[in-house]
Structure formats: C-alpha cells, structure tokens
Amino acid sequence: MIYFEKVSKIYNGDEVPALEDVTLSIAPKEFISIVGHSGAGKTTLLKTLLAEERPTSGTIFFESVNVHELPSSALYHYRRKIGMVFQDFRLIPHKTAYENIAFAMEAAGRPDDEIASDVPHILELVDLAEKTNHFPHQLSGGEQQRVAIGRAIINQPDVIVADEPTGNLDPVNTYEIVQILKKINELGTTILITTHNKGVVDSVGRRVITMDRGRVVRDDVQGQYVL
C-alpha cells in the first residue's frame, strides 16, 4: 500500500539529515506505532508521505503511485485518502462537534443528505452522540480529540495518520483514544501513529517502527516501546 524506498531528507543548513535512507513498506489494515526521541524524524516521515515535504532523495509510493510526481491538481484528491489527527486537535472553535465533522464533508463536496446521515453515525463511533451540539470549549481534551478523529475518518480515508494524538491528554483519555483508533483499524483503516507514550505503544501491541537520527533502527512486527 505504502512504500518508502531509500528516502532521505536534508533541510537547508542542517548537517544531520532529518531522514536518512529510510526503506519500509506498510500493508493495508496495519496499525503501526512510530517511536523515537524528539528530532528522530517521525514527523518528517509523515510530512513526506503527505507530500508536504519533498524528499532530498528516494521515492514514496502510495498504491503504486509516486507521491512526489503527482501534479498539484491531483494532490487534493491524494490527500483525501489520508485522514490527519494532530496533538492540538485543530478544531474550529465556533462550530459544534457535529459542525466540525460536517465541515470536512462539506469541503469534500458531499451532499447534504449524506452529511445528515453520516455525521451522527461517526459521532456514535467516537462515543460523542450525547455531545453533538457542544462547542470545543465545552468539551474535555479527550472529547475534542475524539471530534478530531471523527473529522479525520468522516470521508472514509484509506489511512489515518495521527501525530502524537495523546500528547496533551491524561492517562484515562489516552486509553479511550487508543481504543477508538483500534476500533477504526478493526473496521479496515490503516493507522500510523507517532508517539512518545510507552503505554500507548504497549497497549496497541502491534508493529513498532523505532527511529533515531532520521534512520529506522528497529522494525518489530509485534513490538513494545524500546529506545
């Protein structure tokens, strides 16, 4: 599904590559935790997958398509295949939980009847059916992140990329977010998550890719957090 072939990224002025000779493949329906210290290259890896950064060398394929050969007109459709979840939620403050999720469908040009049908289903999936009309400031951090996950999956992407999604959450909310991501994975969506949280990685119990100084130094099929 996704293949990184000898990918390196060097930012101007940096002596140490952000990515160095990264080769790895990601199969459909995998749940992968990407771990490593700050500066290890985790976020840069995701940015190259999203075509937000261009590799200095190497190639990234998504379903046999070279991501960085896509014309700008095709990038929007490519990125719709990937749902993003961020550490800081990035919700629209003046929109309710329902409206934040619906907005992603509106931006994709989905019709009103689909929105009315799909959004309540997604709110139920992320355990927020009772918070439909709540604004972000009325929700806890964990609830805000669940809205963000709902927004990421509403257009049925093939992959969810979650960059430190539990970084601002307490252990209880962290556990709930991990359970929701596991549920989404069980429904057939590939999950890539970067995290510093050992508990998150160990509770998922799936493939773990460990990065250090831009390189993949471990790739364990059923791993735990080891640095």
123: its two tokens: 């709110």
Chain segment 215-227, per-residue pLDDT in tens: 999 999 876 666 6
Chain segment 37-50, per-residue pLDDT in tens: 888 999 999 999 99
Q: State the residue for tokens 């749902």.
A: 83
Q: What is the mean pLDDT of residues 138-146?
A: 95
Rounded to 5°, the CA angle 133-137-141 comes to 100
Asked whether the predicted pLDDT for residue 136 surpasses 90, the reply is yes
Asked whether the predicted pLDDT for residue 189 surpasses 90, the reply is yes
Asked whether the predicted pLDDT for residue 96 surpasses 80, the reply is yes
Q: What is the mean pLDDT of residues 149-167?
A: 94
Q: pTM of the full predicted structure?
A: 0.91
Burial 57-79, CB ≥16 within 10 A → b, else e: ebebbbeeeebbebeeeeeeeeb
Q: What is the mean pLDDT of residues 176-189?
A: 94
3-class secondary structure per residue, 79-147: HCCEEEEECCCCCCCCCCHHHHHHHHHHHCCCCHHHHHHHHHHHHHHCCCHHHCCCCHHHCCHHHHHHH
Please say whether the beta carbons of 223 and 52 come within 8 A.
no
pLDDT at residue 111, rounded to an integer: 95
- Per-residue pLDDT band at 15 (split at 50, 70, 90): confident
Alpha-carbon distance of 187 to 123, in angstroms, equals 16
Please say whether the beta carbons of 189 and 220 come within 8 A.
no
